[in-house]
Amino acid sequence: MEDKVATTLYQIYFPGGVWTNAPLSYAGFAAELGLKGLSIAVIDSAAEEALLFNRINAYFGWQSMWIGDPGVYSNWLEGFPDADLGDHPLIDYALEDGYPAGYGWRDDAASASSALVEHVVSDQYVGDDGNDWVFSLEPGLDLDGRGGGDVLVGTPGAETINGGAGDDAIYGVDGADVLRDGEGADYVQGGLQATVQAAADGDNDRYWVGRVDYSKTTAGITIDGFIASSSQIGTDDLGQSDTVFTTGADDNIRWHGRAVVAGQGNDHVEGGFDGTVAAHLQGGVGDDTLVLHKLGGKAIGQFGEDVLWALAEGDSYAHELTGNNFSDEFHFDGFLNTARARQIVWDMDVSGDDEDLLFFHNMIEGPAPASVADAIGAGNLRIREIGGYTYLDFDQDGGGDLFDATITLKGVFGAALYDNIVFI
């Protein structure tokens, strides 16, 4: 197996806060660390060293970092003034690149209280109960911080990163990563393809990652916007996450991201709110209610007798509703007044054990018609069957002089459809 390299960045604290200012070679530096019971291994190529520190620069927003001969010098943070080194939360000691071998510590940093030390491992990194700082250098390296408050940074490749116990910070970069925060008040950040398997630890975590997966938790959750809460998870901040996978219990979700995939339980899920994005709502095992708001999108039932809603809120976008092999209800609320807002039902059944119902709320002015025949007779509804589809067009004020294309059903049903339509 080809070795993959990760570097642990240990923040080393020095008793008394003072290092010798005498000339000290890299070997002397290593010896000093050894006296303090620290193990150190040196990055074995300039290319790996450059890659590591370029990554660190990008992460912390530093301008650049000079790279010396590996194994001889440490590195200087350009753009981070000497006097400010002690103010930085991670690093308050550095050796300046550019001195000949043997010149040693930079005078004005000699009283630093800590330094940054590199430690190299292969194939995977498994931490201990300390506070580890780990930056992966090659894709595919799995990281496990275990105990302590760790910082674990992946690559643009696909990796598994485990935070373990402690208050961790996990950065998955841009790959299709599996991120596990573990116990503690953790911060997890990743790309759209990354998934965080959320811990049910009640420690109020923050997830800024493509997919947040609560499917392993057993207590139902409530999500309002990007804030999730339950008796198991506490209160989590989901930042600008795209997709959430819900629990195995009854959940109540008002999601401002793009997609929700419901788990077991009878879930209530809403999405597509104004000012957000078009939603993709998918039910799970259970009798779910899926509600699409103004920005529309898709609502897909799964295993259960689901209730799917398409809400017309002014200048709404199109909604697409798909049921399943159970008896479902499709609800349309509000009169749609734009051509782009035609609604689609993809799997309408009008007979048998899986018979579906269409409910129309506030689609017609005045009292709701008692039947489809009454709606057609009053000029409020027109039904057309063309090329394998059924089209329901509405004239809101009746008279039949101005129909708007409103609902499309996949399939041709004839008069059998009449008994499956309810006006409210």
The answer on pLDDT for 313 being more than 90 is no
Q: Are the CB atoms for 259 and 242 separated by under 8 Å? A: yes
Q: Please report the pLDDT score of residue 341 as a whole number.
A: 57
Phi first, then psi: give them for residue 281, nearest 5 degrees. Answer: -110, 125
For 154-177, what is each residue's pLDDT tens digit?
877 888 999 989 898 898 877 899
* Contacts of 320-324 spanning 24+ positions with Cβ under 8 A: 320/296, 320/344, 320/346, 321/292, 321/345, 321/346, 322/298, 322/346, 322/347, 323/347, 323/348, 323/349, 323/356, 324/283
Contact 186, 161 (CB under 8 A): no
pLDDT tens figures, 32-76: 444 444 332 233 334 444 454 455 445 544 433 333 322 222 333
324 vs 68: CA distance, rounded Å? 64
Instruction: Say if residue 274 is exposed, middle or buried (CB neighbours under 10 Å; 0-12, 13-18, 19+).
Output: exposed
Express each pLDDT in 111-127 by its tens digit.
333 344 444 444 566 76
Domain boundaries, the chain: 5-120, 124-218+231-247, 250-424
Q: Which of the four pLDDT bands, split at 50, 70 and 90, describes residue 130?
A: low
Return the structure tokens found at 242.
């795209």
To the question of pTM greater than 0.85 for the whole model, the response is no
Q: For domain 250-424, say whether CATH 2.60.40.420 is its number.
A: no
pLDDT tens-digit readout, 194-220: 999 998 889 999 999 999 999 999 999
Q: How far apart are CA 268 and CA 266, in angstroms?
A: 7
